Amino acid sequence: MKILKNRWIGLSMIVALAMVLAVGAACSETSDEDESETRGTLYLVDQDWNGQLVTTAVMQILLEQEMDHTVATKFAPADSAPLFIGLEKGDFHFVCCNWPSYSAALLEEYVDADDGAKVERVGPVGITGETGWYVPSYVINGDADRGIDAVAPNLRSVSDLNEYKSVFATSDTGTKGRLLEFTAAWDTKPAERLEAFGADFQEVFAGSEGAALAQVDAAFQRGEPVLTYLWEPHWAHAKYNLVQIEMPDWTSDCYPGGSNYNCGFPTDAVAKLAWPGLKDEFPEAYQFLSRFKMTNQQQNEIVLNLTENDLTVRQAAQAWVDANEAVWRACDP
Ligand SMILES: *[C@@H]1O[C@H](CO)[C@@H](O)[C@H](O)[C@H]1NC(C)=O
């Protein structure tokens, strides 16, 4: 009876505390001691791009430091079958940043299946993704200060690419222009788009985000032309003056809705996905992760800090958490 009474008092205190925190619109709540002892490890997914890694690190830090959870990360490539299989089985519990247009077929199979969801869509992160092809501004406008001539002055859209294919050609593409891509594992469909645009260009995969950005950086250092796949939000836009090449607008008959590739990329409402067992196994974490939001600007500033100041992902995320308590407490930035 005594135990029961104590538990009841404990519980009402937690409810009262939760109410106090709710007034401050707190996102993270104080954990029940008993629960933190019996709770297992919560596995967040790390992927192969820095915007994803810093967002995951911020979530991990808040779950550990504010909510007393034991958190670890496991790696799964973005938009891959192993990611979705792991989320279905519970090997992974949560992934912060799925770009729907990159994994249309997998979302159809695991999230929007007619026979029920095997992976739960938890809602938007708050980040709006734009994908496209970009060139340095000096390629179009020149840069008098650096003595760089405009080598493609009339380049506006993909229909202008052939006029300048020799400008973008390299030893590995012969007479064709070169389109720098990141990794073949992401479903960006460069070959299909180039063909649909009638552009005599060849896609070349750098292998990773880091390797591709090293090539972009080298081109900037030398003032050389480069045509690269990239997205926003991305720290590269703060560091380099990049101009996006126009593509025909995305419409519903375009990939991934349809099979037309003579189109630009759709805008992505970047989404959170979870193992369906998360809400019962880790209810407080589920509540927190459901409400967690981050803007394009916030994700960019953390990654830019990491890149410019040579920080680790964890250091950059911790610096942001320390400097932005009001933002993450409000949980609706
Ligand atoms: C960047 O990191 C430093 C620590 O190295 C920190 O003082 C600063 O607040 C960080 N900036 C942002 C925007 O997080």
Sign of CA dihedral 247, 262, 209, 222: negative
What is the model's pLDDT at position 57? Answer: 98
Output the domain CATH number for residue 211. 3.40.190.100
Distance 315 CA to ligand 1 centre (A): 9
Question: Which of ligand 1's atoms lies nearest the C-alpha of 320?
Answer: 14
Q: What is the pTM of this model?
A: 0.81
Ligand 1 center–CA 294 separation, angstroms: 17
Query: Which residue, by CA, sits nearest to atom 3 of ligand 1?
Result: 319
80 Cα to the center of ligand 1, angstroms: 32
pLDDT at 24: 29
Residue 218 and residue 21: Cα distance in Å, rounded?
49
Sign of torsion, CA 291 120 234 322?
positive
Is 28 within 8 Å of 288 (Cβ atoms)?
Answer: yes
| Higher pLDDT, residue 283 or 235 | 283
Q: Are residues 71 and 140 in the same domain?
A: no
- Would residue 8 count as lying in a domain? no
Q: What per-residue string of b and e applies to 37-61 under the rule 16 or more CB within 10 Å gives b?
A: eebeebbbbbbbbbbbbbbbbbbbb
CA of 54 to the centre of ligand 1 (A): 13
Average pLDDT of the chain?
89
* Ligand 1 atom 8, closest CA: 319
Ligand 1 pocket at CB < 6 A: 301-302, 305, 309, 311, 319-320, 323
Q: Which residues are CB-neighbours of 268 under 8 A, at least 6 positions away?
A: 99, 100, 101, 102, 128, 129, 130, 131
Output the residue whose Cα is nearest ligand 1's atom 6.
Answer: 319
Q: Are residues 168 and 215 in the same domain?
A: yes
- Strands 268-274, 120-136: pairing is antiparallel
Which atom from ligand 1 is nearest to the alpha carbon of 322? Answer: 9
Q: Where residue 22 falls among pLDDT bands split at 50, 70, 90?
A: very low
Identify which of 295, 291, 294, 290 has the alpha carbon closest to the alpha carbon of residue 120: 290
56 near 44, Cβ under 8 Å?
Answer: yes
Q: Of 55, 125, 64, 52, which is closest to residue 290 (Cα–Cα)?
A: 125
Ligand 1 atom, smallest distance to 304 CA: 13
Tell me: do 74 and 94 sit in the same domain.
yes
Q: What is the pLDDT of residue 12?
A: 38
Distances (CA, A) of 243 to 4, 120, 134, 229, 256: 66, 37, 5, 11, 24
For residues 234 and 129, what is the distance between their CA atoms, to the nearest angstrom? 9
Tell me what pLDDT residue 299 has.
Answer: 93
- Domain count for the chain, please give it: 2
For 31, which DSSP code? P
Task: Please list, in sequence order, all residues whose beta carbon lies within 8 angstroms of the beta carbon of residue 316, skipping any fewer than 6 positions away.
Answer: 54, 57, 302, 303, 305, 306, 309
Is 29 within a domain?
A: no
Residue 251, domain member (yes or no): no
Domain boundary among 244, 277, 294: 244
The CA distance from 215 to 224, in Å, is 11
Position 319 scores a pLDDT of: 98
Query: Where residue 112 sits, what CATH number does that domain have?
Result: 3.40.190.10
The rounded Å distance from CA 46 to ligand 1 centre is 22
Percent of the chain with pLDDT over 90: 78
Of 94, 41, 102, 31, the closest CA to residue 67 belongs to: 31
Which of 212, 244, 276 is the last residue before a domain boundary? 244
User: Ligand 1: which of 320, 325, 328 to mutate, judged by most atoms within 8 Å of the beta carbon?
Assistant: 320
pLDDT tens profile 163-220: 999 999 999 999 999 999 999 888 899 999 999 999 999 999 999 999 999 999 999 9
Residues 213 and 110 in one domain: no
Considering the domain architecture, whether residues 239 and 145 belong to the same structural domain is answered as yes
17-25 average pLDDT score: 33
333 vs 110, residue with greater confidence: 110
Residue nearest to atom 14 of ligand 1 (CA): 320
Q: What is the best residue among 305, 309, 312, 315 to mutate for testing ligand 1's pocket, by most ligand atoms within 8 Å of CB?
A: 305
Q: Using only C-alpha atoms, what is the Rg of the chain?
A: 23
**135 and 234 in a common domain:** yes
- Asked whether residue 134 falls in the same domain as residue 240, the answer is yes
> Does a structural domain hold residue 258?
no
In a domain, 45, yes or no: yes
Smallest Cα–Cα separation from 54: which of 251, 261, 307, 224? Answer: 307
Q: Report the C-alpha gap between 90 and 13 in whole angstroms.
A: 32
- The predicted pLDDT at position 9 comes to 36
**Residue 79's pLDDT band (boundaries 50, 70, 90)?**
confident
Q: Which atom of ligand 1 is nearest to the CA of 305?
A: 1
Which DSSP letter does residue 146 get? G
320 Cα–ligand 1 center, Å: 6
Instruction: Kindly state whether residues 193 and 218 are assigned to the same domain.
Output: yes
Q: Say yes or no: 53 and 96 in one domain.
A: yes
Peptide bond into 256 cis (omega under 30): yes
Range of the domain at 113: 41-129+268-329
Distance 223 CA to ligand 1 centre (A): 30
**Does residue 223 fall inside a structural domain?**
yes
pLDDT digits (tens, 9 = 90+) for 247-286: 999 999 999 889 999 999 999 999 999 999 999 999 999 9
The verdict on residue 165 lying in a domain is: yes
What average pLDDT does the segment 95-112 reach? 93
Q: Which atom of ligand 1 is nearest to the CA of 323?
A: 9
